[in-house]
Amino acid sequence: MKLRRYPGFWVLGLCAASACGAEGNPDWIKLVRETPAVQTEWAARYEHGEGVIQDFARAMRLYCAAARRGHVAAQYQLGWMYANGRGVTRDDAQAAAWFRLAAARGDVPAQRMLDLTNDPTKTVRASCQEPVDPTRQPAPARWVRSGPPAPEQAKIEALVRRMAPDYGLQPALVLAVIEAESNFDSQALSPKNAQGLMQLIPGTAERFGVRDPYDPVQNLRGGMAYLRWLLAYFQGDVRLTLAGYNAGEGTVVRYGDVPPYAETRAYVDRITRAYGQLKHPPVAPVTPPAPLKRPPADSASVPAALLVATRPRR
């Protein structure tokens, strides 16, 4: 099956000045840092050898970088390449996974291609390998316990360090969340019926397949799956992810930022201080990005009357 992108997608005659050298050649490190639109344009150049030596590997990496940041055309192109076996082993399941993400954003061609490639018995997560900026050295994630751990806490820490990489999560973030939520008490129960280590309410537990929220392994799996979902939804923004975990993702979308609840803001501040980073490395794109329609609110402009101590629990 040969598939074609609808005409007029590529604008190959233009060179983004910030991504070109003196002779029009692309600066790879600058491309790695570019906007999704520019990354997608250059991915198409590499895919088709337009003005550069054809390089499917570079094309796939740039499409991946843009697709993980929610660029619909890049998501479609990854699906197209997998569906055609173009520069990669043909994989209809992986193609469908990328078409599904683009289709969820309203892309009509992706919706049509999803009908052709989707097999409900072979559903997989959309995955790809992003380019690496060798000059960027992010500060290491950290989490420092307040004192010597009790034996039960030590077991939980070991579980987290073993399980977190399966979800693409840094253990330091998960540990900071657990400390804030339950202080490592697997039997914790809040007045709002949040349960276990990561304080899952029944709706969240059911959403992520947790049958026994007081079982440490099940609770960790559910909580980590939710954290990964939120990080994908808020594109690695730790503050918005934590706010969503505490107050619900819908509340964050409604305000366009950390909502003006005193408890939520204190919660976000506590965990970001413990974790030490405001951006988490990319996780699997398990959901399209959040539809944030306004810039983050300026906390200084929020009326004091809104800074109340109550908020909706996730």
**Which ranges of the chain would DSSP assign to H, the alpha helix?**
28-33, 36-48, 56-68, 72-84, 92-104, 108-117, 151-163, 171-181, 202-207, 216-233, 238-247, 249-255, 262-275
CA dist., res. 99 & res. 77, Å (int): 9
Structure confidence at residue 312 (pLDDT): 41
Query: How many H-runs (helices) and E-runs (strands) does the chain carry?
Result: 13, 0
Give the type of residue at 8: G
Distance CA 109, CA 76 (A): 8
pLDDT (0 to 100) of residue 36: 87
12 in Cβ contact with 50 (< 8 Å): yes
Terminal Cα-to-Cα distance of the chain (whole angstroms): 45
Distances, alpha carbon 216 to alpha carbons 153, 174, 280, in Å:
11, 13, 24
Which of these is catalytic: 34, 41, 179, 181?
Answer: 181
From first to last of the 314 residues of the chain, give the pLDDT tens digit.
444 443 334 444 444 434 544 333 468 888 888 888 999 999 999 999 998 899 999 999 999 988 887 889 999 999 999 999 999 999 999 999 999 989 988 899 999 999 999 988 888 878 888 786 666 555 566 776 666 677 889 999 999 999 999 999 999 999 999 999 999 999 999 999 999 999 999 999 999 999 999 999 999 999 999 999 999 999 999 999 999 999 999 999 998 888 889 999 999 999 998 898 889 999 988 899 998 754 433 333 333 322 333 334 44
Instruction: Give the start-to-end residue ranges of the domains of the chain.
Output: 17-122, 151-306
Class of domain 17-122: mainly alpha
At the topology level, CATH places domain 151-306 in: Lysozyme (1.10.530)
Q: Considering only CA atoms, give the Rg of the chain.
A: 22
What's residue 293's pLDDT?
A: 55
Give me the count of residues in the chain. 314
Is residue 181 flagged as an active site residue?
yes
